[in-house]
Structure 1
Amino acid sequence: MAVGSAAAPPPPHVVASRLKEEVGAPLLSSAGVRQKYDTVVSVVRKSACGRGGDEFDVNDDDEEGGVSAVTYRVDERYKLVELLGQGAYGIVMAADDGDTGKAVAIKVIENAFAHIAFTKRTLRELKILRHLHHENILGINSIMTHGGVEGFMHVFVVTDLFETDLGAILKTSQMLTMEQCVFFLYQVLRGVKYFHSAGVVHRDLKPRNLLVNFNCDLKICDFGLSKLILEDRDGFEKVPMTARSMCTRWYRSPEISCDCKDYGKPVDMWSVGCIFAEILTKKPLLPGESNSHQLELTLELTGVPSEDTIRKIGNDKLLELIRETDEDWEEPINLMEIFLDSLVKLDEANADHYSYGSEEYPAEVDIIDKLLKFDPDDRLTVQQALQHRLLKNFHRDDDEPVRNLIPMGEFEFERRRIDQLCLRELIHREMLRYYPDQYRSYSASPGFMKDSEVAARYPLLEPGECFGVDRPAGGG
């Protein structure tokens, strides 16, 4: 089957092209990046290729501690190469696309209907990514299922292949240059600007969700925990958003740690600040071991917030923690205590520019300081961050595209007490959209209803009701 596309590919990134010409490629050591794969390839046992396409077996631990094999089959156009990784929600394989000649990644979302929260997460990500077409966001090339609308259990998502992720790079001994660090930050902000303009909050930005290739190209991935900001839409009542279950703990904003339900785009900006701090030091900035510990580390960094801020986002746990705080938390720490050594190593030629006693922070630290404000209203917006002096050699408004708000009709399921039958139908439709001829035929059938009409058959959620809540995210 020919793979369709929801939109034309994004335009070339002018600044990125200039940087590569000046610095040269590759910008990252292939040896350091390749380490990610070598430890996991051995779990794959390749099967014979049949007429239905390539097959692969994946070893997995069964409930009794033994090992079982699960076999998956993909479309015949793809030749599977190796296993890239396994996680709680599935596996990712590298493959060669016989139609295009390009290397791709195939993400297998295993047992997509095992739990309604997981199914909603899958549908949400597929729908959002169909509308996001940007150079710094990992888009979907195609979706595959097997077994028809009533029989498929797994969802296969085809994307571009990236060699590694930023989290893996930061765990290697490879040294980055300051220009590479800033270029990574710029690309993250460029992608965030685009999906924020679409009304999307990612809610789980972290180094592992930033894919990188040898040339330092970066794409944001994993929109499974993302949400559309419903309160900004006319005609849509605000749906409460679960807080602490979103966002991996180390990159979790104070309002998330405080279980605040009224939050939005600033949660992503806090995560960006944590990520850039980790890029500079190669260590997590706030590695909390529990939610309470995360709040303690946050207060140590930012100082105790004002009474107005406490009333705005605080809860009983925050108030209790502040009452018990020692005087060292009254004021934020001098961030140069954290970053001075790293800045000197990254920029040895300008080491004299960095010191504890400067009247203002150097640009690299100043942007972190302005992103990591306890009060979300005090944090830089993504546009303000892009205009920061650190990014003066990168920022160009005409090369940082935005888009209209994503239409809310397709996300009616977020406001309904839907069941797996409805979700199965909607995921099947998402797959068909990548095969235009099939989708046209399907949508022309008698009795066809729009996605919003399919979901509208189910009762609305009650005020304050959360239906199909994701499980909490852990640390790093």
Structure 2
Amino acid sequence: MKRKSLGMGGQFDDWEVGEDYECVKILGQGSYGAVCSAIHKPSGKKMAIKKMDGVFEDEVDCKRILREINLLRKLQHPYVISVFDVIEPKSHETFDTVYLVLELAESDLKKVIKSAIHLQIKHIQTVVYNLLCAVKYLHSANVIHRDLKPANVLVNEDCSVKICDFGLARSITGVESASMLLNGRKFNKDDEETKAEEAEHDVILQGTEIAKIHYKDNLNQDHEDATMNQMNELKLDELGKPKSEEEKKKEISKKLIRSKDARKNMKRELTGHVVTRWYRAPELILLEKDYGPAIDMWSVGCIFAELLGMMKESAPTYLDRKPLFPGKSCFPLSPDKHAKEERKGFPFSKNDQLAVIFEVIGSPLEEDKSFVTDQKALEYLEAFPARPKTDLHQLYPGAGDEALDLLNRILVFNPYFRITVEEALSHAFFKKVRKPEKEVNSEVQIQIEFEKEHLDRKKLRQLFLEEIQFYKTQKQNAAAHQH
């Protein structure tokens, strides 16, 4: 039934949301369609309805929408948005609009950053901690979000968060990864059973086996002590002495260099053009075939930096706030067509995404580049002028040593040296807000069954109807229990 919204100038005339929902107000619009707030009439609950038009026009977009619905049905965590319903269309044969009914949050971080409010460090600790708890859950389920940015982190007044928009997310269950090569394991391509078994045990991707590498700059004595304690817990080497951070780093670097050819020849199982440019990790910019959960950690670091930018000491007014890495182009996916300069045969612009990143984190050293498999990418990196690391205290004067130490460990060029989600959660910055009971792992390794199938429109339509049927059955069962 087309529902007219009284007094809204008929803006919901073409929203076919059925009898159970009443649309209230448009909350946002984008390339995917629109989101409105709504009332679920039987329960009186406030909801959000995401309307996606013309879903079968483009098969790539269609698969994204289907992937999002499929993943959200399987992901169950208080900090991941939950789907309440997928509204059944009038015609199963001809529908081309999908309505996703989601829980409603008060705002998102993009709106919060653009607002006039200032944040204190305790707010930032809570929001980032909650975000990391959500990311830990996703990664333990073998899901990489791949598009974490402020607009995709919904937030409530109590600083609880809900990660949303899983259109670019991927399940990495069963994806061959470089960390397996580094551990000396190689798949026997013919042995599917071994492959499945190995994948089950080992799809701990990039960044999870990283030695605790800590950067000494700006560390106060407390950090030095904490670092020593952690180092003492590291495995002892052959001589029975703990390995230093630098030794660990060199060891990983050597393994990366030795496994270069094998990593280079890995099948590309994950696509490259993901994550909004400003939040895109270096390994994605350099089109590495093998990337893992470390890309989400980089995005979390960029969001964390923007929240630190909301402290009064960081920016006098909200108009002075800006993202940490606001690149205007991103070679080779979206190069600057008007670049005036060429360096080593590459168009060079100081607004290029990597140039903007190196202005802050400094130019990568040789061992930092050890993960890069593509010769062209290595030549491209050579084209950047040497840059020293920026002291983050200058950018975020009120943030304090602990916050900046954590940020320094997240924004690391080499994904194998980047801090993992578990390491981040146990960082001293969160000691006042940490609640280990919130740091739950998923009990299941999530898989998207249709990911590797060729899907024509008929099959896609059938898969949407299966998702819709799941919620319909759920409602019928709930109604039966009530009677």
Does TM, scored on the shorter chain, surpass 0.5? Answer: yes
Q: Where does residue 304 of structure 1 map in the other structure? A: 363
Q: 2:324 pairs with 260, 282, 285, which one?
A: 285
Q: CA deviation at 1:170?
A: 0.5
Corresponding residue number in structure 2 for 1:363: 402
Question: Which residue of the partner structure matches residue 175 of structure 2?
Answer: 231
The structure-2 alpha-carbon separation of the partners of 1:166 and 1:438, relative to structure 1 and needing over 3 Å to count, comes to closer
The aligned residue for residue 77 of structure 2 is 134
Aligned to 1:89: 32
Change (3 A) 1:116 1:234: same
Q: Which residue of 1 aligns with 2:221?
A: none
Provide the aligned C-alpha RMSD in A.
Answer: 2.6
Please, which runs of 5 or more residues in structure 2 have no aligned partner? 177-194, 200-265, 311-321, 332-351, 478-483
Q: Quick check: 2:133–2:439 contact (8 Å CA) kept in 1? A: yes
What is the CA-CA distance between 1:55 and the residue it aligns to? 11
CA distance in 2 between partners of 1:148 and 1:315 (Å): 49
Counterpart residue number, 1:337 = 394
State the one-letter code of the partner of 2:4.
S
In structure 2, distance between residues paired with 1:403 and 1:126: 18
Count of paired positions: 359
Match of 1:71, SS state, is coil
| CA-CA distance at 1:432 after TM superposition | 0.9
One-letter amino acid of the structure 2 residue matched with residue 241 of structure 1:
L
Partner amino acid, structure 1, of 2:54: N
Q: CA deviation at 1:313?
A: 2.3
Q: How does 1:43-82 map to 2 (within 5 A)?
A: 47=4, 57-58=10-11, 71-82=14-25
Shift of 1:305: 2.4
How far did residue 307 of structure 1 move? 3.0
Q: In the alignment, does 2:132 pair up with 1:189?
A: yes
Name the residue aligned to 1:160.
103
1:192 is paired with a residue whose SS is: helix
Change (3 A) 1:430 1:84: same
Tell me the equivalent position of 1:112: 55
Quickly say closer, same or farther: Cα 1:315–1:288, change in 2 above 3 A. farther
Change (3 A) 1:48 1:122: closer
Alpha-carbon contact 1:288-1:297 (below 8 Å) kept: yes
Deviation, 1:336, is: 1.5
Aligned to 1:6: none
Letter matched to residue 270 of structure 2: M
Instruction: Tell whether the 8 Å contact from 2:77 to 2:134 is kept in structure 1 after alignment.
Output: yes
2:175 match: secondary structure: helix
Q: Which runs of 5 or more structure 1 residues have no equivalent in the other structure?
A: 1-44, 60-69, 344-353, 355-361, 441-476
Shift of 1:135: 1.0
What amino acid does structure 2 have at the position aligned with 1:336?
Answer: H
Determine if the alignment matches structure 1 residue 325 to structure 2 residue 384.
Answer: yes
Q: State the TM-score, normalizing by the size of structure 1.
A: 0.70
2:469 paired with 1:412: no
Structure 2 distance, partners of 1:80, 1:379, is 44
Q: Tell me how far apart the structure 2 counterparts of residues 307 and 174 of structure 1 sit (CA, whole Å).
A: 42
User: Partners in 2 of 1:81 and 1:256 — Cα distance?
Assistant: 40
Query: Are the equivalent residues in 1 in contact too, given 2:268–2:290 (CA < 8 A)?
Result: no
Tell me, in whole angstroms, the C-alpha distance in 1 between the residues paired with 2:378 and 2:92: 51
Counterpart code for 2:28: G
After superposition, residues 212-291 of structure 1 pair within 5 angstroms as 212-229=155-172, 230-231=174-175, 234=196, 240-243=269-272, 245-282=273-310, 283-291=322-330
Instruction: Kindly indicate whether the alpha-carbon contact (under 8 Å) linking 2:171 and 2:446 is maintained by their aligned counterparts in 1.
Output: no
